[in-house]
Amino acid sequence: MMSKPQIKSQISLERSYGLVALLDAHSETTIRSLWRGLELGAITNSLPSIVCAQPHITLGIFSSVNSQLLARFPVLAADHLPFGVKFSSVGAFPNSNGSTVFLQPIITPKLLTLQQSLQSVLQDAGIALHEFYQTGNWQPHSSLGLGLSRDLAAKALEFSLGLDLPIMGQVQAVGLIEMIRQGAYIISGCELGRWALGSGEHLAPPDCPNPKACLFRSLAKHT
């Protein structure tokens, strides 16, 4: 169920993995509508262009997975009940290689505890967490635009001034995602599995919306 073809890159691509907090259907639909609004305003098409991209809060990024880690994810999910989340503000991560504009949730004890649980299971599995997600560095967010130029980031922030905040939602599951990066940019993503909070039940990931454009599948053909 978790096995995937090994990908060998000849075009300077890098793989990484992430555990993300997944939202309820209503708040996911609301955030997707914001993605569409940005795209229709010619501000960004980065998120809709990432295969299988979905609204989420990233709990951590890491470079590898192993059998011990995979076995712990359902247990991690079962240890946490679904909880409410409130996106109350908009922020940006400025970067000369491309900025990120995002919705920012209020950090609650339940959200923080979920992220700390990921840190614990990664440490037990001997896998390093990316420094941006370590204690004291983590800035929870749900991206609206990625890899934006200075001008586009400014337009995205201006667009965000018209949002009706807060956006209320609920974290209902965690998902393991695999990403392919080219430099600073995520150019493809694929969900490997998701587990319901409170039960640890394995939930079916969404079907790939565009298999012909899936970079994972095209690279696997050359393995």
> Does residue 141 fall inside a structural domain?
yes
pLDDT at 208: 65
Q: In the chain, which ranges are E strands?
A: 14-23, 56-62, 83-93, 99-105, 142-148, 167-182, 185-196, 202-203
8 touches 222 (CB < 8 A): yes
> Does residue 7 fall inside a structural domain?
no
Give the mean pLDDT of 165-185: 87
The span from the CA of 29 to the CA of 35, in Å, is: 10
pTM: predicted TM-score of the whole model, two decimal places: 0.86
Query: Percentage of residues in the chain with pLDDT exceeding 70?
Result: 81
What amino acid occupies position 85? V
CATH code, domain with 148: 3.90.1140.10
Q: How many domains does the chain have?
A: 1
* Chain centre to alpha carbon of residue 155: 23
For residue 5, pLDDT beyond 80: no
The span from the CA of 152 to the CA of 147, in Å, is: 9
Question: Residue 185: beta bridge partners?
Answer: 182
Tell me the pLDDT tens digit for each residue of 9-28: 445 678 889 999 999 999 99
Range of the domain at 141: 14-220
> Does residue 4 fall inside a structural domain?
no
For residue 8, pLDDT beyond 50: no
The pLDDT confidence band at residue 124, using thresholds 50, 70 and 90, is very high
> Does residue 114 fall inside a structural domain?
yes
Q: Is 42 exposed, middle or buried (0-12, 13-18, 19+ CB in 10 A)?
A: exposed
Biggest CA-to-CA distance, the chain: 47
6 touches 215 (CB < 8 A): no
Residue 214 vs residues 11, 51, 57, 165, 188: alpha-carbon distances, Å: 16, 6, 23, 34, 7
> Does residue 216 fall inside a structural domain?
yes
Looking up tokens 């305003």 gives 41
> Does residue 5 fall inside a structural domain?
no
| Residue 57, CA atoms < 13 Å, CB-side half-sphere | 27
Tell me the pLDDT tens digit for each residue of 62-88: 999 999 999 999 999 999 999 999 999
Looking up tokens 């390093």 gives 128
Question: Residue 145: beta bridge partners?
Answer: 101
